[in-house]
Amino acid sequence: MNKQITLQELGQRDYKEIWEYQEALFQGIVDAKVRNRREDANLETPNYFLLVEHPHVYTLGKSGDVSNLLITETQLEEKGAKFYKVNRGGDITYHGPGQVVGYPILDLENFFTDIHKYLRFLEEMVILTLEEYDLKAERSPGETGVWLDVGTPFARKICAMGVRASRWVTMHGFALNVNADLGYFDHMIPCGIKGKAVTSLNVELGMQKVNENDVKEKLLKHFSKLFESTFILESASVES
């Protein structure tokens, strides 16, 4: 069981470019697992964790409803945003500057084979990180992600999540609003849930800008503890 995770910090990159890169890493792990099963190859399966920020983009999960995007293709272009239908779970979400986006591409057989536990661990990583900023973040029953003031009229989402898993290999992940422009959320029904607000860490702290590198360090620290794993930092060259 390989509990080492290759960490790649990719900076700001186009969503489709990184989606294709995820797919390549994902397929490499799946292929290794298939060889192990068919040929008794005993190959060690790698794990990856990509940290990235995307230009403005809306993505719709495979079970999502396109009507939850509230602007036209022309309006998307005017706002400098793109739109993609993707192969993760969940409905519609937004990515953009000021978000910390993480894509763990793991062979869960190196850790545990329970997709619900995996999602809860991702949520717990964010909850523990926000606790370090004196914010009480929570899960909302029946709604994946991380929220504040759950069960009140002021409930608001601060972190969206959506994953894909096949043969116990994961891709896609989470998007934590740190210094996000919340105006872009007005052009969709977040995760298809009407009447729920969205927030960002800088708004909650009353700050103009939160240090995103500090947030990343905290997220990785808690992820490592939860998954009993170690990170190896690696530079990456993503082919367009």
Residue 90 counted as an annotated binding residue: yes
The CA distance from 9 to 220, in Å, is 12
Residue 81 counted as an annotated binding residue: no
What 3 state SS string does the chain have? Answer: CCCEEEEEEEEECCHHHHHHHHHHHHHHHHHHHHHHHHHCCCCCCCCEEEEEECCCEEEECCCCCHHHECCCHHHHHHCCCEEEECCCCCCEEEECCCEEEEEEECEHHHCCCCHHHHHHHHHHHHHHHHHCCCCCEEEECCEEEEEECCCCCCCEEEEEEEEEEECCEEEEEEEEECCCCHHHHHHECHHHCCCCEECCHHHHHCCCCCCHHHHHHHHHHHHHHHHCCEEEECCCCCCC
Respond yes or no: is residue 159 known to be catalytic: no
Q: Quick one: how far is CA 234 from the chain centroid? A: 19
Residue 32 counted as an annotated binding residue: no
The CA distance from 158 to 177, in Å, is 6
Residue 83 counted as an annotated binding residue: no
Residue 89 counted as an annotated binding residue: yes
Residue 94 counted as an annotated binding residue: yes
Task: Pick the catalytic residue from 105, 126, 171, 191.
Answer: 191
Q: Which residues are part of the catalytic machinery?
A: 191
Residues making up the binding site: 88-95, 160-162, 173-175
